[in-house]
């Protein structure tokens, strides 16, 4: 047996060595998914499969790079010839070589989100549509959804259901925006991220003999990582590539339905749930041993996910030992929650010798990070907010890259509009609008419109100078390297001087970022890695621009090496792992989100998200929630998340919360059993039910009259005695001893207590 096969357990080995026919690998969290995928490719090569006939599709460039490194350790240089990359990067590479077949230039521009939104905004303005009814983000997302479901503008207009939806939403002319958007992208020689899939599908569909058959024969073996995250369009492309004549359908998909959390991006869990319907002779392997987490964490995750109806049944287990129980923190306010989390972070660092980088704080929405940042700053604990502004999204970087984009593709209207008067060269908004309107009416690119539009003498002179400068840049691109051209543009465009003159801290930072970009281009050019493998692009400026256009935060590995606590959303945490994880803000309408209640299967997706969050933890898992939280300037009173009630009490450790911080049972999806143990307090539903107070006789007293030592009546908990009051004004919190259930801490503003 080969050495690498000896490293695998029995199920992993079977999944690796079964290389023909359709295969599905259901990989639970921490079950060695990446190892199975990479060793499978290595085993295929060792078994005589040509590496260039293998296509492995991933969701991040980082995952593809790590995959090739691992394969290379087993099979050597042959790994370089495997086609491994993201859907977008692989398809973009093929599109560049086949672009003329769908009437695109080979050096087409890839529009990012900002470019796409800018174009939508322009079209809405030109069509004189109400910007409130036609929100830019909503329109852009609907265009993305239409493309992801293979609905072109003509089919969209003919679909009565879609048109009625738009009419009811007061956007009856969406189809016009969609039609014009497609047209303008084509005219600008540009594709957005969705187009890299959408246009690739139509490239295959419209050219069955020239293109489709070529790549069907080329890619004899297809592997898809994170298959549960694929959308309708991605799977449609996969099926086209694999379903060629007399094909043994050598396709292997790897994923976990329980970690399908990207429905908002168009991912459909049905792809993995229904995969066996498309491949009757499918062989399925379930990786159920978790090598990451201790037993308490794994069993809690199993208990939570069992509440979902739509799933592929599996039983995850761990032999890493029982481990510590899951800690629970119940706080009265969100500020108290963040303080207690920071306290526990310090304790874990001291008691368990954890580094900052061993710890992650996960929340449902980005806005929750503020209070945790403040708490960590108070303790001088370094942290990094994951998912902040990307280097390539900073204004100075986008401005300079727009120059390079326009040099490669002068039809790129969004790039031209961004740089035409930056740095200032006397071309005002009136002139730019005049050129844009002329180009739109004449149905020509702005670059052509520069030469033909009627302008005043001063405007004409400035435009001609701009056109002459850009033409000179384009000519130099024919002989200069990407770095030489970039340096020339930085100097001659005036951008370098512009930032050198700005001596503010912000200006110096922008100059530093610009120099960092130039260094990156130099590094790209000088990199001596071989360039003749399957997916490595040439060292051209166009290749560099494509590589950064497809860059994501998930590919940023440098900062991950810093010793900082990681703060991120639960969505961003997928695929990562940490010795200690805090999942915070576990309250109804926050996690699960209130939006989930309005969508079909919404709660099930939120539960999968919670499953992903808790399975990021290796040794220590802490769950926290706050009874009250500021929202839009007002205090909101919260019920604990239903997901907390789905974890059995034997896995919970409440030693960090006093008996006064007991958990209030909620009725959502309650598991069987008469009671729950949260903190050190057992809540008996029977005892609470025995309290019988007539609401008609109940008259709550004014909260400001309530004082320590008083006896009070609560509709739910009955008679009690106030033993302490904390806080001031509207934030006063009373600690009350109720004979029926023990101590409770209630915010007086909301408590509704009657003084006896």
User: Tokens 């939120």 sit at which residue?
Assistant: 606
**Which residues make Cβ contacts (< 8 Å) with residue 176, sequence separation at least 6?**
127
DSSP of 558-606: SGGGSS-EEEEETTTTTT--EEEEEE---BTBBTTBGGGGGSTTHHHHH
- Give the whole-angstrom CA distance, residue 627 versus residue 725: 16
- Give the whole-angstrom CA distance, residue 544 versus residue 551: 11
From the list 616, 627, 629, 745, the catalytic residue is: 616
Respond yes or no: is residue 259 known to be catalytic.
yes
3-state SS, residue 252: strand
From the list 180, 194, 226, 399, the catalytic residue is: 226
Distance of CA 491 to the CA centre of its chain: 37
C-beta of residue 290 within 8 angstroms of C-beta of residue 317: yes
Cis peptide bond upstream of 423, omega within 30: yes
557: tokens are 């590995």
389 half-sphere exposure, CB direction, 13 A CA radius: 8
Using CB atoms within 10 Å of the CB of residue 297, give its burial: 0 to 12 exposed, 13 to 18 middle, 19+ buried. Answer: buried
Respond yes or no: is residue 226 known to be catalytic.
yes
- Give the whole-angstrom CA distance, residue 361 versus residue 371: 12
From the list 18, 34, 540, 685, the catalytic residue is: 34
- Give the whole-angstrom CA distance, residue 223 versus residue 227: 9
Rg of the chain in Å (alpha carbons):
30
User: Tokens 């392997």 sit at which residue?
Assistant: 285
C-beta of residue 411 within 8 angstroms of C-beta of residue 447: yes
- For 411, phi then psi, to 5°, come to -80, -10
User: Tokens 């978790």 sit at which residue?
Assistant: 290
C-beta of residue 103 within 8 angstroms of C-beta of residue 186: yes
- Give the whole-angstrom CA distance, residue 649 versus residue 627: 21
- Give the whole-angstrom CA distance, residue 337 versus residue 342: 9
β-pair partners for 583: 362, 623
* Residue whose C-alpha is closest to residue 740's, from 696, 692, 695: 692
Respond yes or no: is residue 752 known to be catalytic.
no
- Give the whole-angstrom CA distance, residue 111 versus residue 195: 9
The neighbour count for residue 446, using CB atoms within 10 Å, is 23
C-beta of residue 293 within 8 angstroms of C-beta of residue 615: yes
- Give the whole-angstrom CA distance, residue 218 versus residue 725: 74
291: tokens are 């090598």
The three-state (H, E, C) secondary structure of 742-753, written as one string: EEEEEEHHHHCE
Buried b (16+ CB within 10 A) or exposed e, 583-622: bbbbbbbbbbbeebeeeeebbbbbbbbbbbbbbbbbbbbb
From the list 13, 33, 147, 171, the catalytic residue is: 33
414: tokens are 């969004």
From the list 38, 228, 259, 622, the catalytic residue is: 259
C-beta of residue 447 within 8 angstroms of C-beta of residue 410: yes
Using CB atoms within 10 Å of the CB of residue 234, give its burial: 0 to 12 exposed, 13 to 18 middle, 19+ buried. Answer: buried
Respond yes or no: is residue 616 known to be catalytic.
yes
Q: Which residues belong to the active site? A: 33-34, 225-226, 259, 616
């Amino acid at each position: 047996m080969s050495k690498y096969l000896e490293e695998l357990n029995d199920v992993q080995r079977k999944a690796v060595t079964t290389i023909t026919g359709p295969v599905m690998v259901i990989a639970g969290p921490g079950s060695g998914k990446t190892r199975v995928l990479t060793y499978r490719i290595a085993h295929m090569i060792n078994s005589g499969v040509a590496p260039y006939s293998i296509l492995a599709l991933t969701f991040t460039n980082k995952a593809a790079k790590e995959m090739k490194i691992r394969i290379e350790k087993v099979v050597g240089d042959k790994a370089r010839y495997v086609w491994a990359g993201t859907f977008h990067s692989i398809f973009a590479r093929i599109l560049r070589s086949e672009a003329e077949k769908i009437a695109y230039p080979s050096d087409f521009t890839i529009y990012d989100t900002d470019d796409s939104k800018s174009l939508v905004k322009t079209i809405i303005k030109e069509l004189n549509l109400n910007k409130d009814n036609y929100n830019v983000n909503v329109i852009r997302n609907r265009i993305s959804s239409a493309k992801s479901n293979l609905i072109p503008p003509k089919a969209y207009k003919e679909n009565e259901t879609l048109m009625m939806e738009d009419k009811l939403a007061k956007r009856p002319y969406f189809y016009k925006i969609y039609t014009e958007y497609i047209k303008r992208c084509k005219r600008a020689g540009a594709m957005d991220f969705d187009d890299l899939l959408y246009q690739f599908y139509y490239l295959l569909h419209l050219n069955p003999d020239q293109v489709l058959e070529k790549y069907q024969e080329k890619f004899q073996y297809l592997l898809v990582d994170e298959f549960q995250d694929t959308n309708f369009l991605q799977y449609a492309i996969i099926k086209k590539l694999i379903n060629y004549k007399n094909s043994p359908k050598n396709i292997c998909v790897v994923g976990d339905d329980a970690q399908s959390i990207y429905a908002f991006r168009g991912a459909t869990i049905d792809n993995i749930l229904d995969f066996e319907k498309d491949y009757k002779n499918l062989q399925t392997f379930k990786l159920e041993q978790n090598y990451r987490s201790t037993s308490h964490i794994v069993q809690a995750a199993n208990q939570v996910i069992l509440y979902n109806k739509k799933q592929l049944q599996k039983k995850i287990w761990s032999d890493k030992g029982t481990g510590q129980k899951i800690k629970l923190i119940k706080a009265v306010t969100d500020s108290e929650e963040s303080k207690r989390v920071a306290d526990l972070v310090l304790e874990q660092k001291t008691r368990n010798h954890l580094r900052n980088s061993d710890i992650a704080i996960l929340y449902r929405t980005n806005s929750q990070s503020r209070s945790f940042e403040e708490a960590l700053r108070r303790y001088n604990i370094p942290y990094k907010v994951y998912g902040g502004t990307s280097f390539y999204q900073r204004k100075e970087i986008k401005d300079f890259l727009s120059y390079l984009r326009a040099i490669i593709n002068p039809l790129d209207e969004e790039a031209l509009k961004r740089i035409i008067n930056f740095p200032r060269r006397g071309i005002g908004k009136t002139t730019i609008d005049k050129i844009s309107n002329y180009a739109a009416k004449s149905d020509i690119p702005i670059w052509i419109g520069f030469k033909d539009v009627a302008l005043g003498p001063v405007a004409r002179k400035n435009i001609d100078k701009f056109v002459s400068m850009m033409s000179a840049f384009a000519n130099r691109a024919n002989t200069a390297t990407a770095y030489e051209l970039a340096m020339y543009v930085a100097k001659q465009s005036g951008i370098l001087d512009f930032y050198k003159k700005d001596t503010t801290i912000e200006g110096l930072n922008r100059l530093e970022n610009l120099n960092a970009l130039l260094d990156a281009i130099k590094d790209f050019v000088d990199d001596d890695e071989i360039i003749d493998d399957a997916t490595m692009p040439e060292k051209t400026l166009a290749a560099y621009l494509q590589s950064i256009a497809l860059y994501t935060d998930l590919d940023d590995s440098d900062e991950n090496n810093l010793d900082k606590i990681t703060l991120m959303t639960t969505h961003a945490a997928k695929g990562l792992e940490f010795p200690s994880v805090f999942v915070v803000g576990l309250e109804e309408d926050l996690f699960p989100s209130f939006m989930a209640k309005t969508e079909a299967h919404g709660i099930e997706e939120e539960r999968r998200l919670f499953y992903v969050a808790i399975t990021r933890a290796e040794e220590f898992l802490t769950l926290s929630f706050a009874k009250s939280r500021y929202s839009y300037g007002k205090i909101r009173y919260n019920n604990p998340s239903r997901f907390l009630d789905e974890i059995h009490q034997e896995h919970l450790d409440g030693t960090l919360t006093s008996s006064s911080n007991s958990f209030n049972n909620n009725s959502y999806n309650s598991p069987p059993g008469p009671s729950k143990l949260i903190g050190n307090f057992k809540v008996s539903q029977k005892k609470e039910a025995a309290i019988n107070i007539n609401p008609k006789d109940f008259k709550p007293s004014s909260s400001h009259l309530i004082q320590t030592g008083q006896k009070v009546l609560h509709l739910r908990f009955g008679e009690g005695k106030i033993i302490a009051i904390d806080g001031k004004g509207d934030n006063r919190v009373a600690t009350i001893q109720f004979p029926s259930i023990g101590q409770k801490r209630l915010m007086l503003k909301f408590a509704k207590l009657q003084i006896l």
